[in-house]
Structure 1
Amino acid sequence: MTTSLPRRDQPFAKGATALLLVDMQRIWLEPGLDPDHADWGPDHYFFRQTREVTIPNQVALLKAARENGVEVLHTIIQSLTEDGRDRSLDHKMTPIHIPPSLKEGLPPTELAPIGDEIMLPKTSSGVFNSTNIDYVLKNLGIRNLVVCGVLTDQCVDMTVRDGADRGYLVTCVADACAAPTPERHNGALKAFGGYCWVTDTQTVAGRFEALGREVAA
């Protein structure tokens, strides 16, 4: 008996589609806040790319998602405790620690959750490894997971691969992601492209709007 399998680029399903923003936090996005990159000025490629391309595209995605019944989730790197004792061993060794009280650890205003959108703190590269996102997504009835964020070759990469392994149809919005260099960004997309559908903001926003038309009909 032959089983028909879905395509990675098949139309999104109404009521079963979510947009996930990965690690869009002020500490990574605003020059001078990340102590590990104190030498990166406002004109560094990463800051220019996120300011001029990534964030505007995410704003467009959020607008289309919110207006058309698409579930919106956010994940941020944040410890559960002020001293970070709950962090993963890797984050302790690196070290990466963003306490719950650090305002710079939250998303910028234009990307912040609104209403009852879910925001999950994590202390690992992969959101599926240190949060209950799989449980949450399944409770929400999500099948199509649309991913964007930073860094393309780290936390976005892990999210895409782990999501695919758990049975989600993953879409990565390439022009709504960013890495410290274009080479790292493009290399990551090429490396994990087999786990997802790689496309752009305009295409995804159009699909979100199509879901809204379905609801209206």
Structure 2
Amino acid sequence: MTETITRRDAPYESGRTALLLVDMQRIWLEPGLDPAHPDRTADHYFHRETAGRVIPNQQRLLGSARKAGVEVLHTIIRSLTEDGRDRSLDHKLTPIHIPPSLEEGLPPPELAPVGDEILLPKTSSGVFNSTNIDYLLKNLGIRYLVVAGILTDQCVDMTVRDGADKGYLVTCVSDACAAPTPERHGNALKAFGGYCWVTDTETVVSRFDALGSVRGAA
């Protein structure tokens, strides 16, 4: 039987929906830890956005998703080796290297995986390029992929575009993403909006809660 879906904002389905948090790591989120941007103090736009808006919204998404039985996955930038020899050429040239032993490379406690939630290390901007996430999502029976994270115009952008090309119905939660400037954030949403449904935390939480209600009544 052929599945017919006519809208990017088609209703989520229980057992076929996943939430993916992209690169929510202490090294990027805590002022003073990112060696490439020592100038970004706590009052920098990026840190004000992540601390005041993005992290609280992602906590809401996580809480609702977990209650509803929505599959939760996390991806982080992290090399598989301590010396980073497995990194992509782009990460070697940039350079970006977070060794497995670096605790700051993990998500902050409030966003950390719980239970057996899947954590995927990657060494490229696109999680579909340097992990087996497509294989995992298909094994999990996922069709609806909800994406939130940083940076809106880099790793989130790649995740949205590649996810759409792989055949997933992608949702980008705009107020649970951030970039270093409001212009970069806004321009990215406009640029990749044709590949996904761009909506907000409140809307997605309502949808997750509805899935949870159906699950609880079953």
Name the structure 1 match of 2:126: 126
The whole-number CA distance in structure 2 between the counterparts of 1:6 and 1:206 is: 21
Name the structure 2 match of 1:153: 153
Deviations 1:25-78 (A, max 9, x none): 000000000011001111000000000000000000000000111000000000
Give the TM-score of the pair, scaled to structure 1: 0.98
CA shift, 1:213, in A, is 1.0
Local SS of the residue matching 2:205: helix
Local SS of the residue matching 1:190: helix
The whole-number CA distance in structure 1 between the counterparts of 2:35 and 2:6 is: 44
Q: Does 1:66 align with 2:66?
A: yes
Name the structure 1 match of 2:178: 178
Name the structure 1 match of 2:165: 165
Q: Does 1:206 align with 2:173?
A: no
The whole-number CA distance in structure 2 between the counterparts of 1:99 and 1:10 is: 40
Local SS of the residue matching 1:206: helix
The whole-number CA distance in structure 1 between the counterparts of 2:3 and 2:135 is: 26
What stretches of structure 1 of length at least 5 have no aligned partner? none
Deviations 1:182-210 (A, max 9, x none): 00000000000000000000000000010
Local SS of the residue matching 1:204: helix
Name the structure 1 match of 2:11: 11
Deviations 1:72-124 (A, max 9, x none): 00000000000000000000000000000000000000000000000000000
CA shift, 1:215, in A, is 1.1
In structure 2, give the amino acid aligned to 1:142: I
> Where does structure 1 differ by over 4 angstroms across 4 or more consecutive aligned residues?
none
CA shift, 1:6, in A, is 3.0
The whole-number CA distance in structure 2 between the counterparts of 1:125 and 1:40 is: 21
The whole-number CA distance in structure 2 between the counterparts of 1:4 and 1:73 is: 27
Sequence identity (%): 78
In structure 2, give the amino acid aligned to 1:115: G
Q: Does 1:43 align with 2:62?
A: no
Name the structure 1 match of 2:140: 140
The whole-number CA distance in structure 2 between the counterparts of 1:176 and 1:104 is: 21
Give the TM-score of the pair, scaled to structure 2: 0.98
CA shift, 1:3, in A, is 8.3
The whole-number CA distance in structure 2 between the counterparts of 1:5 and 1:156 is: 24
Name the structure 1 match of 2:75: 75
Local SS of the residue matching 2:153: helix
CA shift, 1:142, in A, is 0.2
The whole-number CA distance in structure 2 between the counterparts of 1:9 and 1:56 is: 24
What stretches of structure 2 of length at least 5 have no aligned partner? none
The whole-number CA distance in structure 2 between the counterparts of 1:173 and 1:89 is: 30
